[in-house]
Structure 1
């Protein structure tokens, strides 16, 4: 078998210019892909770190223990509860009428406000079944708040000039005559203190 012997004078064939251009395009494309991948990776990493830093911190869950709500702020004073207010009533003659002193005491645990206007702290005078006078008849809608300190006694004075009164506060009511009368005091409709009996004339 005869083998062909290569011709030493023959030069090897070089790739054409088109082949070189294709190779360069592929190499450039690969380089761009690598650069783009690196840039995307760096951006993603930095973005995750920023999001973690900006994320709001959730408060830790607190298990309910049934603890009562906090007390009102120091600047707020509550209205006195009816059961926390007690009183002693004293009646003194004053001309043709009487002067009534209601010594109010706060038996609660905190200072509180009480309305002592004639329409809230109502004083009524009767003679038997005859309703003679009530401070609510001419009271209107006025309010008069009084601060009662804890354990302290605060006097409130109510005056009756001896004239009768009626619903609507009509003028020129007659003078009550001599006799025995009973006085009762109520705070927002709840009896306050003991009834007092006194005599006129």
Structure 2
């Protein structure tokens, strides 16, 4: 009888301990309460190695200087990237367009004979990169017909645009 009583007491203790520990385990197994949502800014990934972004039009400026040279002009442009990362810009004659006019007369455009020519230029941030465009003083027309006449002496203006967006003010110059 004593042995039976001892077994009942041990069974009761085991049951009591299991119940107490089982309640604690149930709390541990319960999913945690959802935390308040935290907003974390995810930085954009850097460009992949070997890939350089195309310059945004608003990040490119140019200082333009027109130098008359005989019957034409040499246009010196100091291209500058004001963006935060180095970028590529197409300075080919169809994208970086120089146009000469006199009054309402459209005299010459670098785009007239550009074809599909492209010339990519890597612009570092903040530094100036020189680009030169030359005009020999002959008129031009759409489709690039040959035998265009030489312009005469007079006052002309030169406007430069990058992909249709003006780069600074028109420069006025005089030919002989």
Is TM > 0.5 for Structure 1 vs Structure 2?
yes
CA drift of 1:74 comes to 2.7
The structure richer in strand per residue is 2
Runs of 4+, deviation exceeding 3 Å: 63-66
User: Which structure is higher in RCO with an 8 Å CA cutoff and minimum separation 6?
Assistant: 2
**Distance in structure 1 (CA, Å) of the matches to 2:111 and 2:88:** 20
The match for 1:192 is: 167
1:1-150 alignment runs, 5 A limit: 65-150=40-125
**Structure 1 residue ranges without an equivalent (≥5):** 1-62
The match for 1:166 is: 141
1:88, 1:194 within 8 Å by CA — same for their partners in 2? no
CA drift of 1:113 comes to 0.4
CA RMSD of aligned residues (A): 1.2
Q: Which has the larger radius of gyration?
A: 1
**Distance in structure 1 (CA, Å) of the matches to 2:160 and 2:68:** 17
TM-score (normalizing by structure 1): 0.67
1:152-163 alignment runs, 5 A limit: 152-163=127-138
**Structure 2 residue ranges without an equivalent (≥5):** 1-37
Paired residues, number: 139
The match for 2:35 is: none
